[in-house]
Structure 1
């Protein structure tokens, strides 16, 4: 009797743990735990009982993996764990671990996790094998009966009894079905869209270098959350003043990203394509569709399209599918400095190399460049100073003085408050470097778009934070900025205004609206109206 009671209590606790991602909306009693305890207590010792216990244990270990993965995914990229999607991301997750922890520690972590899940499965299996009804068959029947009643009660509106294992398994089935249906609908949308086979030249930008710089994790929370705003808001004020002193103008707004905490490529593709792409399956579908993007638009306008991707460390076939003329990654950018944990090279080197090797060698052909900036990517350690002498950067050997600087990520990440502090400081560095680049190299034949790719993880922003990112558009020619805020009878991009500070309370439009807006603002039929510099001073 005591063994049966103890087994039931332990199973109840283990099964309730499967709903840990939904805390505190969790029941007190797992109906399956009662039923399984009672049924196995009634079974005599046999091969069938051992096989059944092993099967239940294996299934529990798998569901435990789902539960822990759900917690981690929710805290890192702000959505539920979806096995249908995550299977295609296993390699990316391992690469991230390897970059921050090293191969040995990453493998040890994976082995430890597998050991835990296998151990949980074995624990459940042994608990079920050891219970029997030889001493109290009546108690076993009572527990099994209570389990049946408890399962019936789960269909009533009450918070105390629940189906835990069934709920965890059903969630994955439902997510898989929804994702499949969503992907099929997206694929049909691309096929049915009449504009799927044509790009659209942006003739108003025909003689202009257009630079699209993605600043990693530059979400709206960096401005609106007091923990980060105390550092970032003064940086934006300084940014505005520095650029104004250099004769530059800027407008700022916010756009809603399809992702949070990771999978930056989905945000990049959404902005470039004008299509809402929030899953890996949609991304794969889009790449196979030959649907045009801003890259094609700029190519049709006469631009040399270039991708500068310092985070890419291996072959990137997707880049060829996008249609860039040239793709540069970490091993083809001539960097001779140290890697900085996950960050292969600091932003200041990326900007310096881009200017020297791409813009200054353009041979009078306008450039369209996507520049993926990564210094503000987790783990946010170490944080470098901005070098005053850009001419000294060269091949990056000057950064060797910061080799092995700062503490190890595994040490920093034990303290969430210190992680948040490093996040703000790394973003401050990224904005400072971008400002210095713009001051030196943006002119009236340059349109520089600096945009976040996504918000940082919920650990940084808190749960249920807006998914908006901050967007700055900079040029020495205010004519090119006027369409973003509206001029004459033309509407601008919702929420954009002059200056460096985005609206704190007004949500931004989708990232997918950016490309259609550029079509509207810079296509031949809608050339921006010429305005004076005085007209830009609107706060």
Structure 2
């Protein structure tokens, strides 16, 4: 080893290791008090460096630096995913989402911002590993043969004191004076990888099982014959929108008005709750779960779906006479998954031909999206019934600026929304109250737009399913919120909804605490069972036995 480093460098190196070992992996523990503890790993690492020397010591230094660097980034990744999605980082599948995050940032804030983010990430990685390597070398330089005896004594005393203090609490908090958090975190991450691999095997077995029902193709969904079915995924429409005291007054009033206006037009509705497989983002997991009847709660499961021969809701309708359409204004790049679902027509962002300015991440207003669907697919008279999967985006964070709801005959090519919008403002990410207000306004816009769409003159023979894809980000919904989202089924012919009487959903547009809560993956089977004549369902079940 080289000559011992000055004492000030030794202090800095110990501080670096102390901070890295003390860094929490959950946002709720980000406080100065969390760092007022002795990580037990520190004296252990010190002792390991003391009792080794030469090449072994240098090799150990490399292992320590690389291991702590990797654990540091896993902790940071955990902080990010907990903040954005209220869940830990999934080592097996989440690294693939880094590109998605960078693309979203570039789309929302501009290419220069995205490039700057890449540079910042690379710089952080370089600085972190370099700092840990330097800190380990500096500490090792003090562990000379002359210092060996004193070092062993010092490290041993630190460990004895640390274990003696392990039950001592900081003030009235539950945090002890010492911690072994980093080691426990490492063990948990290794265990999560093993569990993830087991889950993947179980999921592949689940996909290989027989599909929902072997109902004859020509009888499937016969109760909806000649009915247009619109499956609308409302971005970030979560239970918090109706349960949070700061929001439910506005949105419950909107839903009440929604119900009144539907009744005047002769429509009927039912509402309940679904448990989404995702939280705060990754909307495609909710779409895939609803359509496939499989629980797709991570990217690995989602990707596995596309190497299977699993049928989906899209195929259920498409094989029985419906023209299947995807209306996806959020899709701005290639969408290879679309081939698996087998839509007859796809309207991605560029296909919708919106000529107005975007709304931050939101490529276009929901009203424009629905206007294009109406003009190109619903208005023509000589056509097949339509089954459309629609992804609305006006509820996407940051919820400002927002479009204004205008007369449908004024929508045109969308350029009117350059003016028909709320003012652009700088988002204050630390102002939770303001973010909640912005979120509430965006949900109010989405619901009022859908109501206005249904009230268009001549709207008949239609069933609309409105479902939230996930709860809004934890910055609005909180870390302890459930994964529940509202779902509404609206029919122009009330008789159609008698098919779901045994679901015991709440009548109207306002789900209650007593409304059923189902996992989102049951909806495909529920829809098939309800809207297929009972005799055919029994025949299919008998043939499967």
Secondary structure of the corresponding residue to residue 319 of structure 2: helix
Cα 1:326/1:206, change in 2 over 3 Å: same
Kept in 1, the 8 Å contact 2:506–2:515? The answer is no
**Structure 2 partner of 1:228:** 247
Secondary structure of the corresponding residue to residue 328 of structure 1: strand
Q: Does 1:11 align with 2:17?
A: yes
Q: Does 1:407 align with 2:425?
A: yes
**Structure 2 partner of 1:119:** 127
Shift of 1:147: 6.3
Shift of 1:126: 2.5
Aligned mate of 2:469, from 437, 453, 464: 453
Q: Does 1:361 align with 2:380?
A: yes
Could you tell me how far apart the structure 2 residues matched to 1:246 and 1:480 are?
15
Could you tell me how far apart the structure 2 residues matched to 1:38 and 1:329 are?
60
Cα 1:416/1:203, change in 2 over 3 Å: same
Q: Does 1:108 align with 2:116?
A: yes
Could you tell me how far apart the structure 2 residues matched to 1:196 and 1:170 are?
42
Q: Deviations over 1:216-261 (max 9, x none)?
A: 0111110011121122111111111222222222111111111111
**Structure 1 partner of 2:404:** 385
Kept in 2, the 8 Å contact 1:18–1:168? The answer is no
Point out where structure 2 has 5 or more consecutive residues left out of the alignment.
1-5, 169-174, 537-545
Correspondences of 1:209-288 after superposition (within 5 Å): 209-288=228-307
Secondary structure of the corresponding residue to residue 260 of structure 1: coil
Could you tell me how far apart the structure 1 residues matched to 2:381 and 2:402 are?
32
Q: Does 1:398 align with 2:416?
A: yes
Secondary structure of the corresponding residue to residue 128 of structure 2: helix
Q: Does 1:500 align with 2:516?
A: no
**Structure 2 partner of 1:304:** 323
Aligned mate of 1:99, from 96, 100, 107: 107
Could you tell me how far apart the structure 2 residues matched to 1:84 and 1:147 are?
37
Cα 1:194/1:20, change in 2 over 3 Å: closer
TM-score by length of 2: 0.87
**Structure 2 partner of 1:202:** 221
Secondary structure of the corresponding residue to residue 112 of structure 1: helix
Aligned length: 517
Cα 1:266/1:479, change in 2 over 3 Å: same
Q: Deviations over 1:160-209 (max 9, x none)?
A: 54434433333332222212211211111121225588775100001100
Kept in 1, the 8 Å contact 2:272–2:515? The answer is no
Q: Does 1:31 align with 2:40?
A: yes
Could you tell me how far apart the structure 1 residues matched to 2:343 and 2:16 are?
58
Kept in 2, the 8 Å contact 1:211–1:370? The answer is yes
Kept in 2, the 8 Å contact 1:190–1:196? The answer is no
Secondary structure of the corresponding residue to residue 479 of structure 2: coil
Point out where structure 1 has 5 or more consecutive residues left out of the alignment.
528-539
Could you tell me how far apart the structure 2 residues matched to 1:386 and 1:194 are?
42
Shift of 1:139: 3.9
Secondary structure of the corresponding residue to residue 351 of structure 2: coil
Kept in 1, the 8 Å contact 2:370–2:453? The answer is yes
Could you tell me how far apart the structure 1 residues matched to 2:334 and 2:492 are?
37
Kept in 2, the 8 Å contact 1:54–1:125? The answer is yes
Shift of 1:384: 1.8
Cα 1:149/1:237, change in 2 over 3 Å: same
Q: Does 1:145 align with 2:156?
A: yes
**Structure 1 partner of 2:346:** 327
Could you tell me how far apart the structure 2 residues matched to 1:509 and 1:407 are?
38
Secondary structure of the corresponding residue to residue 361 of structure 1: coil
**Structure 1 partner of 2:518:** 509
TM-score by length of 1: 0.88
Cα 1:186/1:156, change in 2 over 3 Å: farther
Secondary structure of the corresponding residue to residue 441 of structure 2: helix
Aligned mate of 1:180, from 193, 197, 213: 197
Aligned mate of 1:77, from 76, 80, 85: 85
Kept in 2, the 8 Å contact 1:260–1:457? The answer is yes
Kept in 2, the 8 Å contact 1:311–1:330? The answer is yes
Structure 1 stretch displaced more, 128-137 or 473-482:
128-137
Correspondences of 1:438-477 after superposition (within 5 Å): 438-440=454-456, 443-477=459-493
Structure 1 stretch displaced more, 230-239 or 124-133:
124-133
